[in-house]
A and B are shown apart, each in its own frame.
Chain A
Amino acid sequence: MFHVEHTAFDVIVIGAGHAGCEAAGAAARLGARTALVTLRATDIGVMSCNPAIGGLGKGHLVCEIDALDGAMGRAADAAGIQFRLLNRRKGPAVRGPRAQADRRLYRSAMQAWVHAQPTLTVIEGEVVDLLQNGARISGVVLGDGSEISASAVVLTSGTFLNGIIHVGDRSYPGGRMGSKGVSRLAERIRGYGLPMGRLKTGTPPRLDGKTIAWDTLDLQPGDDTPTFFSALTTQVAARQVPCAITRTNSQTHEIIRANLERSAMYGGHIGSAGPRYCPSIEDKVVRFADKSAHQIFLEPEGLDDDTVYPNGISTSLPEDVQARYVRSIKGLQAVTILKPGYAIEYDYVDPRALNRNLSLRDHEGLFLAGQINGTTGYEEAAAQGLVAGLSAVAHLRGQAAPHFDRRTSYIGVMVDDLTTQGVIEPYRMFTSRAEYRLTLRADNADQRLTPLGVELGLVSETRRANFEMNMERLDRARKSLKRTRFSARALHQRGVRVAPDGPPRDGVSVLSLPGATVDVLEALDPSVASLDRSALEQVANDALYAHYVRRQDEDIRRLERDEAIAIPASLDFAAVDGLSNELVEKLTAARPETLGQASRIAGMTPAALTLLLARIRRDEKLSA
């Protein structure tokens, strides 16, 4: 057997999708010698599903990644061909930026970024095995037999683990269409005896835009003033284009219904759980039989690319049926399918087997991120990649990994959900998952996370300076508003809900009143107009929720107290008297690291928490 010893690295990242890129980038930014191993270097930054980044919850994640100087936000801004802020007319906490991205531009932005990282090396190859020194990971073996050593390995294998693609009654192994699966590595992971499960997801057929009757369809343009993901982006980089909207009809549904048994899912070829929020068109027709039409967004995949992604009709029907139902849809009567839709089933590791730093409990130095942990979506993957990259470096330096908290980031919400609750379907971020949603806004992601980035040495000098400048503007705006007084009568006349004979109020407290806006203040006092507009909006957003956020503080204090109590890794839950079997099972699967995490496990009671605490304290005293 032929062996080549590559140079040693600190961190090896397996897979260069969204999780892998952020993991490698984060490790490299911290100065670790990092190798990013991918089957094909040209696949770095490929968007394998729909050509869009962001949305509700997801957009929040991208802003948080950006606040820590990750790549996704800037790449999406650079590749954005249509920007829309979702929920623009709803409250600021639930507004989510979203962009259609040109696939080619996105890929080149990501590749340029990856190659620009000084301590990051891209290695083309297939990782077929992991090297171990006892329970410690010591490197990887490539397909050509060569070995690379490292103290930490981040595995971001996406859907490549035992991936099976289904098109109608045909199925074959594979990750994405056209890539070969990585089953030797899968065997190694299987051999660990980890709790694993199987999930599925689907894609729609890709259409040739030249064969779409665009002039018969409604167009959906982007926002006039785009909202970017990155705090560093100042202007649109690419030409802006609209999407189009069409709908299925009763004929479409008829064709689908008549061919249900030929669908991989309905024909019994797939048994695993798919996402409820992203059902196939077969599912929609069956489960919502009373709906006569379903909306489809026709999303261009790029400026120089005629491929169109019809968002809303993912399917696992055979190709001939796909062609027939697609051509029954308005505007698509003469359409050519470039690539058929398919469903893919893949393995995932029950994320309750992970520590909060995304490392595997019994395999020191091995970190998992992305779809392998049961999530879906580029944004979810990228955010985990970032966490895993940071944790891997902390591990090899013998430091504690930075902890992302539910109270301060969507990243924290996701990591906590995954590691304590596990998943029942591919996990996607929603704003409703965040109980502190009012304070976790896209507009304050930098305030929440950039200071941590600065402390870790993770962010560039440019980012730090930009952040400090923004904070100064914010501070100036807040102080100036605090000093400016507004008469109740004038406010009342401008439609602010306040008694006209009340006392005058300062600008910040005015902004907490219903009907008060920055515009009203500017109209009443010209000095306000001289302040930075986006800083003023942030002050207004904070003021709007101030009253409700105070109510949350008690909950947060309780949580903080419980989060401060660590549960030793050695604690045997089965040996704690008085815990029900059900709770012992759940605790053993999730292995919460703190009492706070334990308290979020479904079915947990105050009495059981006290029992846990009693055991922890007793053990402490006994060992003291």
Chain B
Amino acid sequence: MSAGMSTIFARSTAPGRAGIAVVRISGPASWDLVRGLTDRPLPPPRMLVRRNILCDGELVEIGMVVLFEERRSFTGEQSAELHLHGSEAVVRRVLRELGNAEGARLADAGEFTQRAFLNNKMDLSSIEGLSALLVAETEAQRRQAMRILTGTLREKAGAWRAELVGVLAEIEAVVDFADEEVPDTVSPELGARIARTASAMRSEGQGVADAEKIARGFEVAIVGRPNAGKSTLLNRLAGRDAALTSEIAGTTRDVIEVRMEIAGQLVTLLDTAGIRATEAVVERAGVALALRRAQVADLRICLGAVPEGLKLFEGDLVLREKADLDVSAKGFGVSGLTGQGVDRLLVAIGERLNDRVAGAGIAVTERQAQALLAGAEALEDVRNMLEAGPGQLEIVSALLWRAIQATDQIVGRIGVEDVLGEIFSQFCIGK
């Protein structure tokens, strides 16, 4: 059954904040995909092992990996699971990497279950239970779509599709009604129309990450050397004693999280262990964790000099720590103890986060984003073909259909009747 099938993947745990996220992969290439993500030999089936997860050769995560052989997996196909930390950034990076692989694509809704059915992997009771589950899932999706999209994305996708159907109608009129009074070539502005739609779909697809951020919030990590006042600052920002503080360097070992709203954005503040070289086993683990979480956070606030091993990104803030100790010092200082500079810090964080979502599109799911990007790619091919000459209109048409089907994900299925209707309204057919 699985021979010749594509390999599908998806995040199988609920999106958003969670301790771990499980990415499930199913299909003939699943083990190969895992091999591509890791730098060590594959483990035996059904054994959970720790592995470095690499994307494009770069270490993004240390996670757990498990393989299942054919007929001994949920779907009945060769499968694998990646257990990642619940960071959005990591999960998305891994999903993107998988999506780039040949023959792999994001699973459709319910597709794992469908494959399980096809391979006779479900017993009677689980099949009966599934109907109810699917109904609930669909209902939840519908409600979510109503709430988050409020019709805007549908409107956009509907407009793109109407535009593309118009373009396709012009092409099909030339192809299918050669003996009629229709133009025998397509109009020259077609390429520009296609390019406009392609770029709109592409930017919407790329804007997805930002849009999800609005829904799920940002991570802001407070980092620095030991005893820089990170926990005190966190407590000040949170307005409560969320973290234990003391004069002793290295008090914070674990990552402490506080959720709050800053400038209208949902923010999770992370208080991390002070970064320094140390022999103490527990502290060393805390430092490694701090670095890892800080690197994948959306913004870093570094108190004091930047410690070795910490990489900063554009927009990150480096502040003078414990500003109450030296009120005459210049520069942007902050003090968790007295609250000095805290308002200014909140404004600075808010500015940076709002900047990041300024270009946010409204496509909300990874599936929609991938569909939009695939559609944009097909349209870019069309444009190149049209530029290269009159081109093969039947191939152009095949590519346009792919782009139109990408909008089906958002607006629902469309058939050839819609294109024919457009032709008959535009051209006087019937010699």
Does B132 touch A at the CB level, under 8 Å? Answer: yes
Contact, CB under 8 Å: A56 / B395: no
Task: Give the chain B neighbours of A431 by CB distance below 8 A.
Answer: 175-176, 394
Contact, CB under 8 Å: A432 / B134: no
Contact, CB under 8 Å: A438 / B395: yes
Contact flags A352-383 to B (C-beta < 8 A → 1, else 0): 00000000000000000000000000000000
Does B397 touch A at the CB level, under 8 Å? Answer: yes
Q: Which of A87-95, A107-115, A223-231, A520-528 contacts B (4 or more CB under 8 A)?
A: A87-95
Does A215 touch B at the CB level, under 8 Å? Answer: no
Give complex CA distance A383, B417 in Å: 21
Shortest A252–chain B CB gap in Å is 14
Chain B, residue nearest A291 (CB): B428
Does A500 touch B at the CB level, under 8 Å? Answer: no
Contact, CB under 8 Å: A87 / B137: no
* 377-431 of chain B: CB within 8 A of chain A: 388, 392-395, 397-399, 401-402, 412-413, 415-417, 419-421, 424, 428-431
Given contacts A276-B424, A606-B108, contact A554 B6 (CB under 8 A): yes
Task: Give the chain B neighbours of A618 by CB distance below 8 A.
Answer: 124, 127-128
Contact, CB under 8 Å: A557 / B5: yes
Contact, CB under 8 Å: B178 / A87: yes
Q: Which of B13-21, B112-120, B264-272, B333-341 contacts A (4 or more CB under 8 A)?
A: B112-120
Give complex CA distance A551, B124 in Å: 37
Shortest A426–chain B CB gap in Å is 12
Contact, CB under 8 Å: B175 / A94: yes
Task: Give the chain A neighbours of B401 by CB distance below 8 A.
Answer: 435
Most interface-central of B6, B124, B419, B428 (chain A CB within 10 A):
B428
Chain A, residue nearest B179 (CB): A86
Task: Give the chain B neighbours of A622 by CB distance below 8 A.
Answer: 124
Shortest A332–chain B CB gap in Å is 16
Contact, CB under 8 Å: A432 / B415: no
Q: Which of A128-136, A292-300, A470-478, A529-537 contacts B (4 or more CB under 8 A)?
A: A292-300
Contact, CB under 8 Å: A433 / B134: no
Shortest B109–chain A CB gap in Å is 5
Does B77 touch A at the CB level, under 8 Å? Answer: no
Give complex CA distance A621, B120 in Å: 10
Does A456 touch B at the CB level, under 8 Å? Answer: no
Q: Which of A20-28, A339-347, A608-616 contacts B (4 or more CB under 8 A)?
A: A608-616
Instruction: Report how many residues on chain B are interfacial, defined by Cβ distance under 8 Å.
Output: 54
Shortest A70–chain B CB gap in Å is 24
Does B348 touch A at the CB level, under 8 Å? Answer: no
Give complex CA distance A603, B430 in Å: 30
Give complex CA distance A275, B431 in Å: 13
Task: Give the chain A neighbours of B138 by CB distance below 8 A.
Answer: 578, 605, 607
Given contacts A578-B135, A603-B413, A617-B117, contact A610 B110 (CB under 8 A): yes
Contact, CB under 8 Å: A284 / B127: no
Q: Which of A91, A279, A312 contacts B392 (CB 8 A)?
A: A91
Q: Which of B111, B395, B397, B399 contacts A606 (CB 8 A)?
A: B111
Give complex CA distance A424, B417 in Å: 9
Does A288 touch B at the CB level, under 8 Å? Answer: yes
* 268-287 of chain A: CB within 8 A of chain B: 275-279, 284, 287
Q: Which of A296, A311, A421, A438 contacts B415 (CB 8 A)?
A: A421
8 chain-A/chain-B pairs, Cβ below 8 angstroms: A277-B430, A421-B417, A430-B176, A432-B172, A437-B397, A578-B138, A602-B413, A606-B108
Q: Known contacts A90-B393, A514-B388, A548-B395; can you find 17 more A-B pairs with CB under 8 A?
A: A56-B175, A56-B176, A56-B179, A90-B392, A91-B395, A94-B175, A275-B430, A278-B430, A421-B417, A432-B176, A548-B398, A548-B399, A577-B131, A604-B413, A607-B109, A611-B135, A613-B114
